[in-house]
Amino acid sequence: MQLNDTDFQLFDVPATFAQDRARLDARWKELQREAHPDRFAAQGAAAQRVAMQWSVRINEAYQRLKDPIKRASYLCALNGSPIDAENNTAMPADFLMQQMEWREELDEVHDEAGADRLRGEVDASRVRALSSLDWLIDENVDYPGAAGQVRALMFIERFAEDIDAKSAQWGQ
């Protein structure tokens, strides 16, 4: 293992979108046990600092690999198609229209039942988008297409948070 290994190399898993979460969890625990700073207490402060660096690196990799959007973003970046969400907000017209419709619907929602209905629609869209990432990355090897889909998922996630925020207002 090297600090500059990819997250996939570090976790000894294939560099694919589809991942076995149980395998990731087990490998994370194994790596954390190996790199825990307490194991290096007898070797001095320098060895403990290196162990701490490894522990941080392992945790960062685990956070990326276990989250489908972060994992897809990472795969796209590794394969020359960074997400670049801050500078590239281009979306297909039909997706933008859907976003506008959802925003209008959210403005008109005044109870939890309406929020739940809209949340269900957004969740279904999220599931479809995640499924298409599996196809775009693992089957079609279309990283530019996957990058666009990740940007769309980021919009969907933010909108889902907006629904939750509006729902929280009613709970107060």
Q: Is the model's pLDDT at 172 over the cut of 60? A: no
This prediction's pTM: 0.87
What's the pLDDT at 171? 67
What distance in Å separates the CA atoms of residue 25 and residue 33, rounded to the nearest whole number? 12
pLDDT in tens, 62-81: 999 999 999 999 999 999 99
pLDDT in tens, 122-149: 999 999 999 999 999 999 999 999 999 9
pLDDT in tens, 98-127: 999 999 999 999 999 999 999 999 999 999
First-to-last C-alpha distance (Å) of the chain: 50
Residue from 73, 168, 153 nearest 115 by CA: 168
